[in-house]
């Protein structure tokens, strides 16, 4: 047994965007040694195959728009398994610390005397940037990145934070955004972000079957709705989006496309 994996401990492990070769070495070792594996709905079979024979495997759901196990039930299940002396791995897509509820789970387990280790993973925005050859920051174009959820409440986007996203030197990476593109784009434009700002919608970021949709902020919702994606969608809004390999919007000339590609 690796010395940093202890019975009765829970490891919150980032599985990255799906491909097993994007797992960290520490994440692989944790999954290889797991005696109980609680995994999210988007974890690939390739990653699950790393777990040893005899490992208890429990699918917890946690996919946007789908029925899933209640967070309280997940917490109690991790506690029960840890108290039985098992090496417990809670396997999450992307990075546990970016919209992965790692804080809630750590707080609960530590309140009940269970040791917790967090093992980071590649988050969807980083995976999309690498896969489609655009940076998240770029000198004189994007000085900062905001990771946010495209949350809606009762048919309206939540209040707060939109002015920061309207800054033209900010790259905005919006997670869980498939059904919120119109509300998001309308709100950002209302806050002053230019409608011509390049934008991307990336479905299944990091996976071999990932799909890139090119748009501007003003037509982003139309592009997403026409494509009808069924997988998880990340929105990337900012000038760096125009650097994505294959970025092209309706009305672009070959000269514009070549210039964006640096040709």
62 among known catalytic residues: yes
40 among known catalytic residues: yes
Q: How far is CA 248 from CA 6, 8, 39, 126, in A?
A: 51, 52, 37, 21
Chain center to CA of 30: 21
How long is the chain? Answer: 263
Q: Please, what sign has the CA dihedral across residues 130, 131, 133, 137? A: negative
Alpha helices in 57-212 (DSSP H): 71-83, 102-111, 124-131, 162-165, 181-190
Distance of alpha carbon 183 from alpha carbon 106, whole angstroms:
33
Q: Which residue of the set 6, 62, 107, 222 is catalytic?
A: 62
176 among known catalytic residues: yes
- Other Cβ atoms less than 10 A from the Cβ of 19: the count is 16
Would you call 203 helix, strand, or coil by DSSP?
strand
The DSSP call for residue 158 is P
Q: Which residue of the set 78, 92, 95, 176 is catalytic?
A: 176
**Is 27:14 a contact under the CB 8 Å cutoff?**
yes
- Other Cβ atoms less than 10 A from the Cβ of 71: the count is 14
Token pair of 238 as six digits: 């900012």
Q: What is the chain's percent helix, strand, coil content, to nearest 5? A: 30, 25, 45
Positions marked catalytic: 40, 62, 176
């Amino acid at each position: 047994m690796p010395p940093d994996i202890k019975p009765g401990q829970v490891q919150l492990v980032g599985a990255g965007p799906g491909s097993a070769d994007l797992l960290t070495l520490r994440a692989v070792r944790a999954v290889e040694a797991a005696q109980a594996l609680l995994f999210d709905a988007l974890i690939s079979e390739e990653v699950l195959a790393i777990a040893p024979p005899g490992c208890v495997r429990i699918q917890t759901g946690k996919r946007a728009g789908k029925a899933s196990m209640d967070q309280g039930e997940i917490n109690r299940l991790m506690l029960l398994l840890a108290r039985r002396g098992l090496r417990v791995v809670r396997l999450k897509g992307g990075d546990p610390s970016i919209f992965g509820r790692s804080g809630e789970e750590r707080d609960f387990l530590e309140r009940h005397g269970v040791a917790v280790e967090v093992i980071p993973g590649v988050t969807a925005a980083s995976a999309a940037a690498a896969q489609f050859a655009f940076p998240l920051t770029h000198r004189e174009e994007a000085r900062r990145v905001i990771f946010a959820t495209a949350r809606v409440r009762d048919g309206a986007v939540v209040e707060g934070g939109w002015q920061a996203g309207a800054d033209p030197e900010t790259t905005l990476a919006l997670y869980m955004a498939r059904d919120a593109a119109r509300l998001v784009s309308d709100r950002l434009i209302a806050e002053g972000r230019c409608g011509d700002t390049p934008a991307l919608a990336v479905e299944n970021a990091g996976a071999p079957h990932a799909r890139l949709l090119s748009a501007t902020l003003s037509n982003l919702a139309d592009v997403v709705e026409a494509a009808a994606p069924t997988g998880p969608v990340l929105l990337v809004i900012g000038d760096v989006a125009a650097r994505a390999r294959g970025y092209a919007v309706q009305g672009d000339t070959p000269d514009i496309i070549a210039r964006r590609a640096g040709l």
